[in-house]
Every structure is written in structure tokens, then in C-alpha cells.
């Protein structure tokens, strides 16, 4: 069985992910290098300084982390840390997984097989009917349906599976209902399904939060089904995350005359499975083995690697000279620099903590020559 984190380690991990310039990739690299969140927190100031940071990095306090834990408890939510037994097993296979999520409701649904259904907020009547029918039939077949609690297709999928199991991943804190028109649905999911968020309570959703939400939707699911998506739809972001995480992407085709179908139809042209019924989806899944669970795996990041020697200034300057505003894959940086992989990872970690690195999908990174000004 997976190990259980100590209360101190849980607190320190929450502090670490809430600290400035620490995202899931940086969190993973820090834990792999230092083994414990406490040691990683102690190292943050020096690492950021090495990366060229001019001001002290802001580290989340114990008081702030305890406050977040208390607020989650008052809501009736649980904080689930990656590596612990209650953390969704399929989400733990994301690269990297969210270090901590908050879940409110029927947590046992997070352990069941799940499929995501996503699509247009301004869906057609036919699209809404199709989303509801697919969701209901897949729910009857034993799948929990995951979506993003948006208006349109998301709401139709949730409503159809309240009885069989639904997971709503939200972009803000669990105590913030967005959009307001879905408040009644939110309350029903809280009672019958489960709500999930990566954000602290009280966080109001902003544009930058929605891709993170979409990544979790894909990570919780064996596959993503798209029902009506325009060319610039957020549903296409969810589909991209699904592909990056080795999950299936399936699309209900639409009329070429309807702009709401153009994004989904393009996915079909690019190789996504065309599906028209729950039977099509179930048959496709039978042909494609689901992502593997690492059941019984040891606690992620529990055993620190021997830290690499501190990179020299010449190594740092050499790697930084290869970085610019155009994203480049990390493996390509290792090849071009001729530096050991661990040295490159350590240097990228320093630059990230200094606020000079931009991480993009596909393990690509780009460089900000000037450190952005901080707003107090």
C-alpha cells in the first residue's frame, strides 16, 4: 500500500507548492533532489539566487498553509497529496501530477474508471442531447463521468450522471461557484458526486487557471470525449493534455457548416476516434489498453537522489546561452549543451525559481532575459 505522509511533510509540501515560482514540475524536481519538502524549502532562497534572482523569493508560511488546511476542513473537503492512498491513481500517472488537490463529496468516485466529456459552452440542442445520452449510457456501463462544470456540454454531462457518478473539476477554489448559473448543479454534485480543485479555497477563477483545470480533467480520465468544440475551444486544450498523458481522444463529429464542430472535426482528421454512441466508445476502449496504474508504488519523491555538484558559472552561462524566447525541448538542451542531464535539470530549476524560465507542454522551456518586476 502507498505510504502515508507525516503531518509535518503534508504541511511542508503544501507550503512548497504555494511558494513563489513553484509549479508541479519544479515541485517534482525539488522533491527528487532533496527528498523532503522541508529540505527543499530551506534550499529555495539559495537556488533562486543562483538562477539570477535579485529579490528574495516568497516562501509560503506555515501559518498560511495551516489556514488553507483549516479552510478546506471547514468546507468538508480533503486535501489529497500525490503518493498517498486516497490520491486518484490515474491522476498520479500524469507527468507530473498535481502535488495536492482538494476534493469535496463522494471521494470513492475518484478510484473508479472515469471518462471525460467536454465541449462547447454555447452548445446546440443536438449537442446537449448527445452529451447527456453518452454520459448516461457510459454511467450505466460503470464509468464515472468527469467534466469542468462549465455551461453547455459540461453541465449536460454532469446532470446526466448524478445518479451513477460524476466528477466536476473547477478552476477556482472549491467554495467559489463558477459560473453562478450552475449553483444548483454545484450543490447537487457536492451531495452526490465529487468536486475537485487544485486551487486554495477563496481563489476566484482566472483565465490562466482553466488550462490547469483541463489538465486535471484529462489526468483523471482514461479518455476524453469531445462533443462540439470550436477551433479555439478550451476542449481542444483538454484533448491535447489527454494525448500528452497517453489517454484516448474520441470525438462526436458535427456538421461542417457549424463553427462549434470545426475543432472536433479537425481532431478526427488528425487521428482522433470518431464515435457516435456509447457502444462506439466502449468498443474503442476495448481495443486500446487503459493507462497503467503503478499500484503499490513507493511514495513519489520519497528517496532523494544524491544532489549533483553545484553547477559552475561557465556551465550556467553555457546553458543559458542556448535558451531564448523560442521553446526548446529539455532533451534537446541536454544534447546540445553536452552537460549531464542532472546538471541541466538543476540549472533549469534555478532559473525557474528565479522567475526567468517559462515551462510549456511537451517538456519544452523558454527563457526570459529580464526578470519581471514584482507587484507587492
Q: Answer for the pair 249, 243: CB distance below 8 angstroms, yes or no.
A: yes
User: What residues contact residue 182 under an 8 Å CB cut-off, 6+ apart?
Assistant: 149, 150, 151, 155
Residue 170 shares a structural domain with residue 246 = yes
Q: What is the pLDDT at residue 298?
A: 44
DSSP code at position 370: S
Q: Residue 103 is part of which domain span?
A: 80-287
The pLDDT of residue 307 = 64
- CA atoms of 153 and 238, how far apart (whole Å): 14
**Are residues 343 and 231 located together in one domain of the fold?**
no
Write out pLDDT tens, residues 317-344.
999 999 999 999 999 999 999 999 999 9
pLDDT-derived band at 230 (thresholds 50, 70, 90) equals very high
Confidence of residue 372 (pLDDT cuts 50, 70, 90): very low
Is residue 61's pLDDT more than 50?
yes
Q: What is the pLDDT of residue 301?
A: 57
**Residue 196: helix, strand or coil by DSSP?**
strand
**Residue 154 three-state SS:** helix
Domain count, the chain: 2
CB-CB contact of 214 with 234 (8 Å):
yes
Alpha-helical regions (H) of the chain: 7-17, 24-34, 37-50, 62-75, 125-140, 153-160, 183-192, 209-219, 234-244, 259-269, 278-287, 313-322, 330-337, 341-353
Quick check: 45 pLDDT over 60?
yes
Question: In Å, what is the CA distance from 329 to each residue of 159, 243, 321, 333, 336?
Answer: 41, 17, 15, 7, 11
User: Residue 327: is the preceding peptide bond cis (ω within 30°)?
Assistant: no
CATH number at residue 269: 3.40.50.450
pLDDT at 266 over 60: yes
Structural domain includes residue 279 = yes
Mean per-residue pLDDT over the chain, rounded = 92
**246-267 mean pLDDT:** 96
Cell numbers for 212, please give them.
490547469
Q: Do both 62 and 93 map to the same domain?
A: no
Residues 262 and 279 in one domain: yes
Work out the pLDDT band at 164, boundaries 50, 70, 90.
very high
Write down the pTM of the prediction.
0.91
Are 70 and 85 contained in the same domain? Answer: no
Task: List all residues 6 or more positions away from 165 whose beta carbon is below 8 Å from its beta carbon.
Answer: 106, 109, 112, 139, 143, 144, 145, 193
- Is residue 303 domain-resident? no
pLDDT at res. 361:
82
Using the 3D structure, point to which of 256, 287, 318 is the last residue of a domain. 287
Q: How confident is the model at residue 294 (pLDDT cuts 50, 70, 90)?
A: very low
- Residue 160 grid coordinates: 446526466
| pLDDT value of residue 369 | 60
- The arithmetic mean of pLDDT across residues 205-233, rounded, is 95
- Residues 320 and 181 both lie in one domain: no
Going by pLDDT thresholds of 50, 70 and 90, the confidence category of residue 3 is low
pLDDT band at 212 (very low <50, low <70, confident <90, very high): very high
Vertex 185 angle, CA 117 and 247, to 5°? 20
pLDDT score, position 333: 95
Q: Is residue 216 part of a domain?
A: yes
Amino acid at each position: 500500500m502507498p505510504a502515508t505522509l507525516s503531518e509535518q511533510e503534508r504541511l511542508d509540501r503544501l507550503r512548497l507548492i504555494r511558494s513563489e515560482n513553484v509549479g508541479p514540475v519544479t515541485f517534482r524536481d525539488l522533491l527528487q533532489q532533496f527528498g523532503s519538502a522541508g529540505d527543499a524549502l530551506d534550499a529555495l532562497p539559495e537556488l533562486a539566487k543562483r538562477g539570477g534572482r535579485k529579490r528574495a523569493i516568497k516562501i509560503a508560511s506555515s501559518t498560511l498553509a495551516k489556514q488553507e488546511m483549516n479552510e478546506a476542513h471547514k468546507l468538508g473537503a480533503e486535501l489529497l497529496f500525490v503518493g498517498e492512498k486516497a490520491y486518484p491513481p490515474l491522476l498520479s500517472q500524469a507527468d507530473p501530477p498535481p502535488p495536492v488537490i482538494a476534493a469535496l463529496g463522494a471521494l470513492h468516485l475518484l478510484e473508479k474508471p472515469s471518462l471525460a466529456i467536454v465541449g462547447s459552452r454555447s452548445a446546440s440542442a443536438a449537442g446537449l442531447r448527445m452529451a447527456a445520452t453518452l454520459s448516461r449510457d457510459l454511467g450505466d456501463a460503470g464509468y464515472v463521468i468527469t467534466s469542468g462544470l462549465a455551461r453547455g456540454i459540461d453541465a449536460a454531462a454532469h446532470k446526466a450522471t448524478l445518479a451513477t457518478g460524476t466528477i466536476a473539476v473547477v478552476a477556482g477554489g472549491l467554495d467559489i461557484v463558477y459560473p453562478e448559473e450552475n449553483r444548483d448543479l454545484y450543490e447537487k454534485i457536492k451531495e452526490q458526486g465529487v468536486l475537485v480543485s487544485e486551487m486554495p479555497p477563496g481563489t476566484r477563477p482566472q483565465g490562466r487557471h482553466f488550462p490547469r483545470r483541463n489538465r486535471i480533467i484529462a489526468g483523471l480520465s482514461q479518455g476524453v470525449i469531445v462533443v462540439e468544440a470550436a477551433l479555439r475551444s478550451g476542449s481542444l486544450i483538454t484533448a491535447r493534455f489527454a494525448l500528452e498523458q497517453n489517454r484516448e481522444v474520441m470525438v462526436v463529429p458535427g456538421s461542417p457548416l457549424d463553427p462549434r464542430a470545426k475543432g472536433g472535426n479537425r481532431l478526427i482528421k488528425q487521428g482522433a476516434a470518431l464515435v457516435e454512441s456509447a457502444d462506439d466508445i466502449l468498443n474503442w476502449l476495448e481495443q486500446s489498453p487503459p493507462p497503467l496504474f503503478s499500484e503499490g508504488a513507493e511514495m513519489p519523491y520519497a528517496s532523494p537522489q544524491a544532489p549533483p555538484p553545484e553547477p559552475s558559472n561557465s556551465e550556467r552561462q553555457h546553458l543559458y546561452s542556448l535558451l531564448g524566447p523560442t521553446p526548446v525541448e529539455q532533451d534537446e538542451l541536454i544534447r546540445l549543451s553536452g552537460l549531464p542531464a542532472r546538471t541541466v535539470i538543476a540549472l533549469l530549476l534555478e532559473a525557474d525559481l528565479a522567475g526567468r524560465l517559462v515551462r510549456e507542454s511537451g517538456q519544452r522551456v523558454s527563457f526570459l532575459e529580464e526578470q519581471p518586476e514584482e507587484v507587492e
